[in-house]
A and B are shown apart, each in its own frame.
Chain A
Amino acid sequence: MSDNIIEFHNVKKSYGDHVIIPNLNVNIERGDFLTIIGSSGCGKTTMLKMINRLINPDEGEILIDGKDVSELDVIKLRRSIGYSIQGTMLFPHLTVRENISYVPDLIAEDDKKAFKYESTQDNKLKKIKKDKELKAKEKSRDATKEQEINKWLDIVGLDYSLLERFPHELSGGQKQRVGIARALSASPKILLMDEPFGAVDEITRGQLQQEIKKIHEKTNITIIFITHDIGEALYLGKHVIVMDEGEINQYGEPAEILNNPATPFVEKLCERTKDIIEGKNNSY
């Protein structure tokens, strides 16, 4: 049996009478690069947000490392999962640097509070020692933080000179790179990406695709990646899910999807890609 990092068991979600996801069962392998494709409104984002509990399912359960997410501390759970939201959504009032270090800063802040709380429970001597410890810890954290940020900038291909800029001073492609760096900066084991490469030109898109592929290879992180572009889904995914109206039409490796479409919907979706590959479509 393979090692599953995420499992959906009989998950159902509806809004009022409108059933979005009737009954979802999916296993996602550790270290996988899973792309999800499907028509607009079919429930991709809903599925993704159930993993970090931005949306709670009506029925069924979702497991991460075998544990029901609904029983985990929601804040810790979310901080351990990178999230690149649909539309990028950088924080407009924070610089590139502050955007990227947002989650590490949150973690550092809470650590410090917890540590301070602990030390108030101690006697004086211990307290002084602990305070010193805290200062040292903070110092080393500041140093590593700087290195970490630079590392992520390198990985997503951003120039250091952009660090002090605000989001409105960036191009679309730069924003998306910052968004990815922000999602990665706390070194999560799972990365959820909701159409991260929308609204950029083909060349930038190609570069971003290559970068995310490299990141995946380097870090053995598990990536779940939503896209509208079948070409992107097949190029990036180790596995691909084709979704329609909240149900999985096909779940397999790219070649399988392309060569053995399970439903007419998948076949239709793949036709265009085949055309391109076989050179029949010149209007592109």
Chain B
Amino acid sequence: MIGDLFNLFMSQSHFFLNLVIEHLEISLISVLLAIIVGLGLGITVSEYPRNKWILTLVNIIYTIPSIALFGFLIPIAGVGDTNAIIALTIYGLLPMVRNTYTGIKTIDPGIIEAARGMGSTDRQILFKIKVPLALPHIMSAIRNMTVMTVALTGIASFIGAGGLGVAIYRGITTNNITLVVAGSILISILALGIDFILAGVEKITAFGPSRKKFFSILKNKKLIAAVLIVILSAGAYVAYDNSTHKTIHIASKAYTEQYVLGHILEELIQDQTDYHVDLTSGISGGTSTIQGGLAQGEFDMYPEYTGVAWMTVLSNSGLYDESMFNQLNNQLKSELSETMLTPYGFENTYAIAVPKAVAEKYNLKTISDLRAVAGQLTFGAESDYFSRADGFENLTNTYGLKFKDTMDLDVSLKYDAVEQGKIDVVEVYTTDGRLYGSDLVILDDDLNFFPSYYGVTIIREESLKEYPDLLPVLNKLNGKITTEDMMRMNYEVDVEKKDPKDVAHEFLVQKGLISGR
């Protein structure tokens, strides 16, 4: 394990370094905002008792689970870093407001009266007496809040923000434990390191001579000006960099195939056009989150499936098949100003599979063949399959199946369960990498029960107009990725633990879509 970790860090040092920088950016901006806003609110609450409701409000917000808070903000702030920063800032407010308030309220009233009696204005009392005396409380809030924010930023990739959560998320969704551990370890190191630094600052700002020195440094106008200039010019550079190159924003969902497809699109566009590409992969909110991002213009395109577009994006009822492709595309255009390109070629649909031994024993070729023997077999699938519209109930009704037993299984455990003989019939998807080289046999869907799910790029019509070089390049993928290709690539990531980016690159080279380097 430790050896794996070490190798991972060495071989992907650039990837991790970028994530660390992103992680720090997101968390430190949030922390800074929370400090400024939190201090302001804390002071307001303690100076004007009628503003006490603010304290109650931030208290309530604090009880919202962080994931939910990220989710709530999607309709307002969309997906990505902005949303994450807003959510993290809001989250950081409570410790700041509460400690500022407590810090000020626990000052001996005699001290404040002394200051008042000697002729200080309210403002002078606030800044010369109250805030400095509340500083130990405030500093400890800053310290706790910063550590908390650095940790929480790990969850921010849930809504498409960058940072080390991306590694963890990718690890979870591609069944790569080493990646999960690597991301977690880096987050812990960041959090502990920052805690250590802030502990030092806390000590310096405690009463005593060092505090005076510390504040005299802060009063040094030249130093502050220098820091501001550095920050501003860095910001200006980033803004300039973004504006001079047009940037295409690609999104992808949080499972292996989507990571690979995201990288295929990314590298193809990067190789064949002058556009910048920004890939946000592993958006766990899935279709609805990405569609929200498209509507707001945060993303230009993403890999989707025809059946999902029909059912989930457009909420149509009835089953989709490929003869309805044009109808579906027209509907996407008119309702969402989005369009589908030509499908990649592979189909990732649901299927029913049985181990070869079982198939031979009962002579099973189609799903209908199961009818006679279902009473002796156990059926396994992910728990949501049992609740989905095209799921278990409809399947068994359509084919008239009565299984001996059923079993809810996590995706990653499904294949183990088959191997161990705990289940005999299993619901799979056709490009699953773990099918590749397994001894499962897919039964023919002779009643056309499963809807059709062809992989296809969905893109905003506006983006096609804005980036005219895009369409011809994207069209190079038409029909180029077979189900076998996709299954193999998934296998390479899931089982051989290859990096999705490398797998995508090899594919593009092998198909002659980009020149190999």
Interface residues in chain A, defined as those with a beta carbon under 8 Å from any beta carbon in chain B: 49, 52, 54, 75-80, 83, 85-87, 89, 91-93, 95, 102-103, 106, 109, 164, 166, 168, 182-183
Contact = CB atoms under 8 A, between A and B. Distances in A.
Interface in B118-139: 118-121, 124, 129, 132-133, 135
A103 B111 contact: no
B115 A91 contact: yes
B356 to A, nearest CB: 79
B133 A92 contact: yes
A91 B129 contact: yes
B118 A89 contact: no
Nearest to A80: B119
B119 A54 contact: no
B121 A75 contact: yes
Given A54-B116, A78-B116, 12 more contacts: A49-B117, A75-B119, A83-B117, A87-B110, A89-B110, A89-B111, A89-B114, A93-B135, A102-B115, A106-B120, A166-B207, A182-B118
Q: Chain A CB within 10 Å — which of B110, B116, B208, B212 has the most? A: B116
A83 B119 CA distance: 10
Given A54-B113, A89-B111, A103 B209 contact: no
A159 B209 CA distance: 19
Interface in B212-271: 212
A54 to B, nearest CB: 5
A93 B120 CA distance: 16
Given A78-B119, A92-B207, A164-B209, A83 B133 contact: no
A103 B110 contact: no
- Per CB-CB distance, the 3 closest pairs between chain A and chain B, nearest first, are A79-B119, A78-B119, A83-B117
Contacts of A109: 124
Nearest to A185: B118
Given A75-B119, A78-B119, A93-B133, A83 B114 contact: yes
B119 A85 contact: no
A87 B112 CA distance: 13
A86 B108 CA distance: 13
Q: Chain B CB within 10 Å — which of A52, A93, A103, A164 has the most? A: A93
26 contacts: A52-B117, A54-B113, A79-B118, A79-B119, A80-B119, A83-B118, A85-B117, A89-B111, A89-B113, A91-B114, A91-B115, A91-B129, A92-B111, A92-B207, A93-B132, A93-B133, A93-B135, A93-B211, A95-B212, A102-B118, A103-B118, A103-B119, A109-B124, A166-B208, A182-B118, A183-B118
A41 to B, nearest CB: 17
Contacts of A75: 119-121
Interface of B: 108, 110-111, 113-121, 124, 129, 132-133, 135, 207-209, 211-212
Contacts of A85: 110, 113-114, 117
Contacts of A76: 119
A166 B206 CA distance: 12
A182 B119 CA distance: 13
A82 B371 CA distance: 100
Contacts of A54: 113, 116-117
A78 B119 CA distance: 5
A93 B121 contact: no
Contacts of B121: 75
A93 B110 contact: no
A144 to B, nearest CB: 20
A91 B119 contact: no
B203 to A, nearest CB: 15
Contacts of B212: 95
A56 to B, nearest CB: 13
B214 to A, nearest CB: 13
A106 B110 contact: no
A78 B117 contact: yes
A39 B320 CA distance: 94
Nearest to B131: A93
Contacts of B108: 89
A89 B208 CA distance: 18
Nearest to B124: A106
Contacts of B111: 89, 91-92
A87 B129 CA distance: 17
Contacts of A87: 110
Contacts of A168: 207
Contacts of A102: 115, 118
A170 to B, nearest CB: 13
Q: Chain B CB within 10 Å — which of A78, A85, A95, A183 has the most? A: A85
Nearest to A53: B117
Nearest to A49: B117
A13 to B, nearest CB: 17
Contacts of A52: 117
Contacts of B209: 164
Contacts of A78: 116-119
Contacts of B117: 49, 52, 54, 78, 83, 85
A220 B208 CA distance: 37
Contacts of A49: 117
Contacts of B124: 106, 109
A65 B308 CA distance: 88
B104 to A, nearest CB: 13
A109 to B, nearest CB: 8
A168 B133 CA distance: 14
Contacts of A83: 114, 117-118
A80 B119 CA distance: 8
Contacts of A166: 207-208
A92 B108 CA distance: 10
A99 B385 CA distance: 73
Nearest to A79: B119
